[in-house]
Amino acid sequence: MDESAAGRPILLHGAALTPRQQEEFEALLRHVNELPPLPAVALRLIAMSEDARFSAQDLAETVLVEQALTLKVLRLANSPAFGFPRRVTSIREAIVLLGFREVRYMALGACVVEPSMQGALERARLDHDVFWMNSVVVGHLAQVLALAGDLDQDMAFTAGLLHNIGRLAFAHHRPAQLAECRAEAAASRRSIHDVQRTRYGYADCELGATIADGWRLPQPLVASIQNHGRPLSTLPERTSLDATVARARRFARAHAISDGLDVVGTAPLPDLEWQSPGVQRALRQIGGIGAAIERAKSYLTTA
């Protein structure tokens, strides 16, 4: 992360941090530099979601620069989740068969799903596979909502995939505190974010937004990371990127898909929008919620 991010004010829901809370937050930000940085290839893949001028050739060349990434993408393309009758042997062939968008999602997911963080998640009493499966599924569901509405699918998938980076950083640097917040949230039936704000003045979503800003990610992504846990009624129009990620996360949770911290199966479905013809068509295009889960599992087996 760009060290200049430390000391930058963060946008909070409610009140500003007290001087002591600000000092503790900045100390945490300094430690965040120990996290594995977002690879340069991931930043280029994110840039592709903003610029339609990138071609299939650009995508192939970006993936092929990293041998390990190339192998991961080919393993994903050949996984049962995609069900090709013959073996996919090259990145260019994968792009032809699966399409530019799907291969970009594969490559970005392979960059982001980080097996080296397993120990940090376990110290916070979180399951590595459960945590990352939630992120990938939320990414795919955000894509569905974007497809059904008038929003960029690639930006929506990226925002869903990255929405929990602040929680990952919190688990890495404050595992005991995160475990305590989890226990308190479960006992009080409150959200983790509410408990964190009461204790520290900020929540992991604000930490994630500050990290994303330090990585110089596009501001719409930064905002969606910060706002994904807010009540839908407090967000702008339902087709905004912020609301799209929040709705995708809520839908995943209602179907017992969680990062291991949020209570699953208790969130009501976001009214009847998931039954609308547009959303149902978009869901069918990715094979339904079951297909999204199977693809998420494939990301984990190739990490």
pLDDT at 286: 81
- Residue 181's nearest CA partner among 229, 213, 219 is 229
Q: In b/e form, how buried is each residue of 19-47, taking b as 16+ CB within 10 angstroms?
A: eebbebbeebbeebeebeebeebbebbbe
pLDDT at 8: 46
Confidence of residue 34 (pLDDT cuts 50, 70, 90): low
pLDDT at 3: 43
Domains of the chain: 3-34+117-289 (1.10.3210.10), 37-112 (no CATH)
CA–CA dist 10, 105 (Å, integer)? 29
Percent of the chain with pLDDT strictly greater than 70: 88
pLDDT at 262: 74
Q: Any idea which residue has 């959200």 for tokens?
A: 191
Do the beta carbons of residue 153 and residue 101 sit within 8 Å?
yes
CB burial class (10 A; 0-12, 13-18, 19+) of residue 226? Answer: buried
Judged against a pLDDT cut of 60, whether residue 14 lies above it is answered with: no
Average pLDDT over residues 69-80: 90
Q: How far is CA 237 from CA 62, 162, 275, in A?
A: 35, 21, 19
Mean pLDDT of the chain: 84
Average pLDDT over residues 175-197: 91
> For the chain, how many residues are written?
303
pLDDT at 166: 92
Of 37-51, 88-102, 234-248, the range with the highest mean pLDDT is: 88-102
Percent of the chain with pLDDT strictly greater than 90: 32
pLDDT tens digits, residue range 216-272?
899 999 999 999 888 777 877 777 899 999 989 988 888 888 898 876 554 555 556
pLDDT at 220: 92
pLDDT at 222: 94
Higher per-residue pLDDT: 3 or 216? 216
Judged against a pLDDT cut of 80, whether residue 273 lies above it is answered with: no
Average pLDDT over residues 94-109: 90
Average pLDDT over residues 183-194: 90
pLDDT at 7: 41
